[in-house]
């Protein structure tokens, strides 16, 4: 007679499940998922929530639909949920119909000129984000980014950072946190202990930060200390190796980083959440179950986006049974999670049609765009904008996870200024525009005749690096100038690309830079150059999805 297998401890299983945060689409239907490799189907999602999974991270859909989705998820769950999103640039960055704000680096630039105004706007940025997140049913904002972007070659932080110096980032993220907390929403400082000086994207590879402990204390750690001092609710880990602290494991899986440094030296007693464990910096080196166990061993409380949620549950259960993880440690993590939930539990979810009445803060977005707009040269002439000569509206769009489905283009037919201009879109799926000539890299014969308005949408992009930034745009601008065909240049996103192109740009050529990539930013930039009376709300062209 065979011995029956032991019955799993149901309370332990629910305890373990409460420490997982899984990914779901903001859309209600399975067929609407944009990233099914990461976003669970509704059947599996509902099953996991009924097992006690404690959190969901959402991406995509309209603000009104996400509000319904949050209610649906909470109805499926057997415990109050942490409902979060990466809304670093306002809720409209992920969910259409809410405020999509210029990226935080614009305030880092303003901080150097007018610190008091920058701090006031950072606080307002936090209030706007918190208010709109709460109105949708989200109770946790995965921001601010506390990384000091002191490396222009950083392919993944870039404009997501609040500045390029520790002082600016510390001041601005503290102000953002205070604004967010005033709206009754949890915040999350990321990516500890600092991802700003890497030249490798941890979504794709495992970066190494070779700095010593003194350098970390001087540059990377001050913004996190400032947010901890301001009462930040959570800290997210970074998938990078710091040999000065741990030569074997990345920060997400390192006790020296999470327990000794974050808990011990910095005194943080809130939630420690991993960055997504599906990122290749982790998943390429560790199995889904082992990564989850190692993260908890290191001192993390919550496991975000394990590559396989059920494998993570099983591995953690086995680790407890073997003594590798203690139940007491998991209960301490669950207590931290509950304390965080208690801080936002008094904020009720809106009822009725409130989400549909959400009013985006266009005034805040406009103020930030106007303060961060840079331009040089003159204005485009009547011969270019009058519609008689024709020309090319050449747009390089670097598709990325930061943008919602309606990526801006403002195509020619929607702008009176572009009568006679033909829109040519270059994005990752487009035929290559490049020739084999280093000094004449653009295939002008394929593009056609006429003056060229060159618009470059380029920024640090998770999972993609900065492919467009590495393209020969400086040589292309020189080529267009030699043939007297460059009518104007606009760069949206990376200030580093803009700075590099200024070095080769004829100062008489109309040119502008905006950190924003939304239609509102494009309308303002083009209008500043004299391209007609553009309207900021237009321009969601067809087909521009990841």
| Residues 6+ away with beta carbon under 8 Å from 210 | 243, 244
Q: Look up residue 545 and give its two tokens.
A: 């999805």
The Cβ-side half-sphere exposure at 184, using a 13 Å CA radius, reads: 16
- Cis peptide leading into 144, omega within 30 of 0? yes
474 closest CA partner among 486, 461, 462:
486
3-class DSSP state of 102 = coil
Separation of alpha carbons 330 and 317, rounded Å: 11
Q: Using only the alpha carbons of the chain, give its radius of gyration.
A: 24
380 closest CA partner among 480, 457, 474, 490:
490
CA atoms 235, 238, 244, 246: torsion sign: positive
Q: Which pLDDT belongs to residue 185?
A: 97
25 closest CA partner among 14, 17, 16, 34:
34
Q: 303-362 pLDDT, tens per residue? A: 999 999 999 999 999 999 999 999 999 999 999 999 999 999 755 544 444 444 578 898
Residues that are catalytic:
203, 275
Q: What is the mean pLDDT of the chain?
A: 86
Determine the length of the chain: 546
Residues of the chain with pLDDT under 50: 1-6, 349-356, 386-388, 400-417, 463, 466, 533-546
Contact 239, 202 (CB under 8 A): yes
CA atoms 76, 82, 88, 92: torsion sign: positive
Separation of alpha carbons 533 and 184, rounded Å: 40
> What is the residue whose two structure tokens read 């904020």?
347
Separation of alpha carbons 178 and 119, rounded Å: 11
Separation of alpha carbons 80 and 98, rounded Å: 25
537 closest CA partner among 520, 517, 514:
520
Q: 224-246 pLDDT, tens per residue? A: 999 999 999 999 999 989 999 99
> What is the residue whose two structure tokens read 């614009």?
106
For 276-299, give the secondary structure using H, E and C: CCCCHHHHCCCCHHHHHHHHHHHC
Q: Which pLDDT belongs to residue 412?
A: 36
Q: Where are the beta strands (DSSP E) in 289-448?
A: 303-304, 374-376, 391-397, 421-426
- CA-angle at 199, arms to 496 and 214, nearest 5°: 105
Instruction: Determine how β-strand 82-85 pairs with β-strand 55-59.
Output: parallel
Contact 480, 504 (CB under 8 A): no
Predicted model pTM? 0.90
Domains of the chain: 22-349 (3.20.20.300), 373-529 (3.40.50.10870)
Q: Which pLDDT belongs to residue 431?
A: 81
């Amino acid at each position: 007679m065979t011995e029956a297998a032991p019955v799993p401890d149901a309370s332990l299983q629910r305890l373990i499940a409460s420490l997982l945060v899984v990914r779901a689409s903001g859309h209600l239907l399975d067929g609407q998922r944009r990233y099914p490799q990461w976003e669970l189907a509704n059947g599996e999602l509902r099953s996991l929530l009924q097992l006690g999974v404690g959190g969901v991270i959402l991406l995509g859909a309209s603000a009104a639909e996400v509000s319904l989705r949050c209610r649906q998820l909470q109805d499926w769950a057997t415990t109050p949920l942490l409902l979060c999103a990466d809304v670093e640039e306002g809720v409209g960055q992920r969910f259409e119909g809410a405020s999509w704000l210029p990226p935080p680096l614009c305030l880092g630039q303003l901080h150097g000129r007018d610190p008091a105004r920058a701090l006031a706007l950072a606080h307002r940025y936090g209030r706007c984000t918190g208010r709109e997140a709460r109105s949708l049913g989200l109770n946790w904002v995965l921001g601010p980014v506390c990384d000091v972007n002191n490396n222009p070659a950083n392919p993944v932080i870039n404009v997501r950072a609040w500045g390029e110096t520790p002082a600016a980032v510390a001041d601005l993220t503290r102000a953002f946190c205070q604004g967010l907390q005033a709206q009754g929403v949890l915040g999350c400082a990321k990516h500890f202990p600092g991802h700003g000086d890497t030249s490798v994207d941890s979504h794709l590879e495992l970066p190494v930060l070779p700095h010593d402990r003194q350098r970390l204390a001087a540059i990377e750690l001050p913004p996190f200390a400032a947010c901890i001092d301001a009462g930040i609710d959570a800290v997210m880990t970074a998938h990078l190796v710091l040999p000065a602290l741990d030569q074997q494991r990345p920060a997400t899986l390192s006790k020296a980083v999470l327990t000794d440094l974050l808990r011990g030296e910095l005194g943080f007693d809130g939630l420690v959440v991993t960055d997504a464990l599906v990122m290749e910096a982790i998943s390429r080196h560790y199995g889904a179950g082992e990564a989850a166990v190692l993260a908890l061993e290191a001192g993390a409380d919550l496991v975000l986006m394990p590559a396989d949620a059920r494998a993570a549950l099983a591995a953690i259960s086995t680790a407890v049974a073997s003594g590798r993880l203690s139940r007491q440690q998991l209960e301490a993590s669950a207590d931290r999670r509950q304390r965080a939930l208690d801080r936002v539990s008094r904020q009720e979810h809106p009822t009725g049609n409130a989400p549909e009445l959400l009013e985006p803060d266009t005034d805040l977005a406009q103020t930030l765009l106007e303060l961060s707009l840079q331009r040089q040269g003159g204005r485009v002439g009547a011969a270019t904008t009058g519609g008689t000569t024709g020309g090319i509206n050449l747009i390089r769009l670097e598709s990325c996870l930061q943008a919602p489905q309606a990526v801006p283009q403002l195509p020619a037919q929607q702008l009176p200024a572009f009568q006679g201009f033909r829109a040519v879109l270059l994005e990752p799926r487009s035929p290559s525009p490049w020739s084999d000539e280093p000094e004449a890299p653009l295939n002008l014969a394929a593009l056609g005749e006429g003056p060229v308005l060159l618009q470059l949408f380029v920024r640090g992009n998770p999972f993609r690096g900065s492919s467009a930034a590495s393209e020969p745009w400086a040589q292309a601008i020189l080529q267009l100038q030699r043939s007297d065909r460059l009518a104007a240049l606009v760069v949206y996103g990376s200030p580093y690309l803009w700075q590099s192109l200024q070095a080769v740009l004829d100062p008489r050529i109309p040119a502008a830079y905006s950190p924003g990539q939304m239609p509102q930013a494009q309308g303002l930039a083009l209008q500043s150059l004299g391209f007609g009376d553009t309207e900021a709300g237009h321009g969601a062209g067809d087909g521009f999805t990841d």
